[in-house]
């Protein structure tokens, strides 16, 4: 069954009017997977509506690029190709100069660097293209990789999303287990233990989900990585767990946990919202919601701890005043 398309009825060229032909081309383009040349799209359009001319298809493609609906890429074949950009987050390409096949990857580190460079120059980026040319593994070794289609791509995305969620859950389990052993405050210790139990439970669920996913494709474990997030490779709580090794008080442990949960929530929410509907997107957004709930709990406990500390200081001050009289 075809996935529902976005409502793009309000889009039209600047100074132009709505066009049924343009809408037909747009809807057909958004249903395609992979990278189409202008001629590829024209051939598809002609099968649906022979009355649409080549020039109309070319003009519509140019409009889609300018409107941010499509991305224009060059794989060194002597002609441009186009891919949907709506709900397909900005990603990058490895392009083989021998077979002209491309593979995609997404990297938050590359994105952050580009954003940092643009901001430092006061530059507002409209579109960014990163293409790495070279020789693919198949051409270099003569080995033939298993075929990849749209369904496989979605499985790889879900696999990478689950890997990051599992790594983060494992690092969270270590963080809260360690925090519980360090906590001097009984309420804080109880909360850390509760969060450690939740992390362990969620981890088991994610690992089972991963096994179920791997059963759908015998080659899934060996397929190239799509999502490259160095900061999440070891789990987003890894740095926080390391800080606990050096010894912290209850307040510091809570602040570290708050920072980790906030960063994890923002990370998974940011990328989850940028993807089209898929299992990978679902993993990201579910995890973002869980991290948000934990963040709220930690912040509530932090405020409560500060209040308890304030009351204890007040009682000590009153007691000291009585002793001086």
Residue 123's closest CA among 114, 112, 131? 114
Confidence (pTM):
0.73
pLDDT, average across residues 58-82: 83
Q: Is the pLDDT of residue 59 over 60?
A: yes
Per the listing, tokens 């890894």 go with 238
* Whole-number average pLDDT of the chain: 84
Taking the CA atoms of 54, 60, 64 and 67 in sequence, report the sign of the dihedral they define: positive
Helix (H) or strand (E) holding 118, with range, is helix 108-120
Residue 288 · residue 269 · CB < 8 Å: yes
Q: What residue ranges do the domains of the chain occupy?
A: 19-86, 87-145, 150-316
CATH architecture assigned to 87-145: 2-Layer Sandwich (3.30)
pLDDT, average across residues 101-127: 85
Taking the CA atoms of 77, 81, 85 and 88 in sequence, report the sign of the dihedral they define: negative
Q: How far apart are CA 1 and CA 26, in angstroms?
A: 19
* Fold assignment, 19-86: Arc Repressor Mutant, subunit A (1.10.10)
pLDDT at 6: 47
**Comparing 15-24, 28-37, 171-180, 220-229, which segment has the lowest mean pLDDT?**
15-24
264-275 tens-digit pLDDT: 999 899 888 877
Q: How far apart are CA 85 and CA 104, in angstroms?
A: 14
CATH architecture assigned to 150-316: Up-down Bundle (1.20)
């Amino acid at each position: 069954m075809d996935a529902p398309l976005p409502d793009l009825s309000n889009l039209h060229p600047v100074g132009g009017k709505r066009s049924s032909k343009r809408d037909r081309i747009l809807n057909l383009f958004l249903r395609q997977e992979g990278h189409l040349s202008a001629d590829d799209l024209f051939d598809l359009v002609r099968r649906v509506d022979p009355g649409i001319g080549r020039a109309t298809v070319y003009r519509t493609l140019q409009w889609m690029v300018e409107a941010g609906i499509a991305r224009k890429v060059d794989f060194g074949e002597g002609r441009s190709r186009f891919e949907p950009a709506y709900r397909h987050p900005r990603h990058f390409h490895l392009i083989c100069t021998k077979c002209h096949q491309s593979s995609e990857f997404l990297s938050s580190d590359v994105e952050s660097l580009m954003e940092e460079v643009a901001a430092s120059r006061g530059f507002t980026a409209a579109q960014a293209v990163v293409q790495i040319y070279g020789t693919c593994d198949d051409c270099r070794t003569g080995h033939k990789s298993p075929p990849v289609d749209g369904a496989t791509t979605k499985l790889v995305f879900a696999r990478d999303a689950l890997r990051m969620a599992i790594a983060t859950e494992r690092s969270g389990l270590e963080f809260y287990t360690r925090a519980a052993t360090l906590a001097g405050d009984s309420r804080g210790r109880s909360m850390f233990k509760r969060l450690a139990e939740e992390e362990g439970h969620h981890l088991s669920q994610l690992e089972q989900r991963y096994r179920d996913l791997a059963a759908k494709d015998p080659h899934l474990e060996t397929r190239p990585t799509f999502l490259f997030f160095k900061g999440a490779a070891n789990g987003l709580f890894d740095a926080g767990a390391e800080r606990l090794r050096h010894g912290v008080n209850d307040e510091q442990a809570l602040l570290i946990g708050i920072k980790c949960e906030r960063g994890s929530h923002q990370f998974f929410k940011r990328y989850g919202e940028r993807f089209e509907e898929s299992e990978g997107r679902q993993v990201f957004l579910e995890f973002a919601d869980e991290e948000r709930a934990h963040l709220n709990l930690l912040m509530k406990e932090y405020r409560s701890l500060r209040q308890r500390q304030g009351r204890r200081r007040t009682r000590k001050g009153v007691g000291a005043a009585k002793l001086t009289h």
